């Protein structure tokens, strides 16, 4: 049996039944996207690594109870999301983040930290800038954006993971893209004005 051809759910079933190698394939498939999802959500490498480890440990320890009820990615990101929320709750920041639905602050922060013209010309710096802007997105928009971009999840799966409706996910994604676009365009206008 070639494990790399197996679905995520089958791999998890095989791991549950004692095939250690199945977990390695599963881990290899999802580790990068999950890690970056956590890194962007938490903006702290140490914390992201801690929660990343917790998520996989939870899967490992609960493997004997695993049943295929939904897609594996839904389960994985649901665990990750819950851990992120737990973290914010423990820091008493959760409410502030969840109430942040406007992207007005994003534009303001982008304007405040506009990089110089020579920096904007550099693609690598644009990428870094985009990462900063993603970090400044309201929590729900950032979450939808990362689940879509990093995990490659459909609107339906994002809705399942975030306990919300499909249309709400669409609207969060629209706000996220619009906010990022505005902030990035603002940077470019600043650059042209400097010229």
Interface ranges with other proteins (CB under 8 A): 14-20, 23-24, 27, 31-32, 35-36, 39, 49, 52-53, 56-57, 60, 123-124, 126-128, 130-131, 134, 149-150, 154-155, 170, 173-174, 177, 180-181, 184
How far apart CA 119 and CA 135 sit, in angstroms, is 19
Residue 94 vs 191, nearer CB to other proteins: 191
Residue 26 or 81: the one with the smaller Cβ distance to other proteins is 26
Pick 104 or 178: Cβ nearer other proteins: 178
What angle in degrees, to the nearest 10, is found between the helix axes of 166-194 and 104-112?
Answer: 30
Least distance from other proteins to the Cβ atom of residue 193, Å: 22
Among residues 119 and 154, whose Cβ is nearest to other proteins?
154
User: To 10 degrees, what angle do helices 123-136 and 166-194 make?
Assistant: 130
- Among 1, 160, 147, 170, CA closest to 69: 160
CB of 161: closest distance to other proteins in angstroms? Answer: 15
CA–CA separation, 102 and 104 (whole Å): 5
């Amino acid at each position: 049996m070639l494990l790399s051809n197996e679905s995520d759910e089958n791999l998890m079933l095989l791991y549950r039944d004692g095939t250690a190698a199945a977990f390695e394939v599963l881990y290899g498939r999802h580790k990068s996207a999950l890690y970056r999802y956590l890194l962007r959500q938490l903006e702290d490498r140490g914390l992201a690594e801690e929660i990343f480890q917790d998520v996989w440990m939870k899967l490992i320890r609960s493997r004997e109870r695993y049943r295929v009820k939904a897609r594996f990615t839904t389960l994985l990101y649901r665990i990750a999301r819950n851990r992120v929320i737990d973290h914010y709750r423990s820091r008493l920041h959760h409410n502030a983040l969840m109430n942040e639905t406007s992207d007005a602050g994003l534009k303001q922060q982008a304007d405040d930290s506009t990089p110089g013209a020579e920096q904007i010309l550099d693609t690598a710096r644009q990428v870094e800038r985009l990462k900063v802007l993603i970090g400044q997105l309201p929590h729900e928009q950032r979450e939808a954006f990362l689940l879509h971009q990093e995990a490659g999840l459909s609107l339906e799966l994002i809705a399942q993971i975030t306990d919300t409706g499909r249309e709400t996910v669409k609207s969060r994604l629209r706000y996220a893209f619009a906010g990022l676009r505005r902030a990035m365009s603002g940077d470019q206008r600043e650059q042209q004005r400097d010229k």
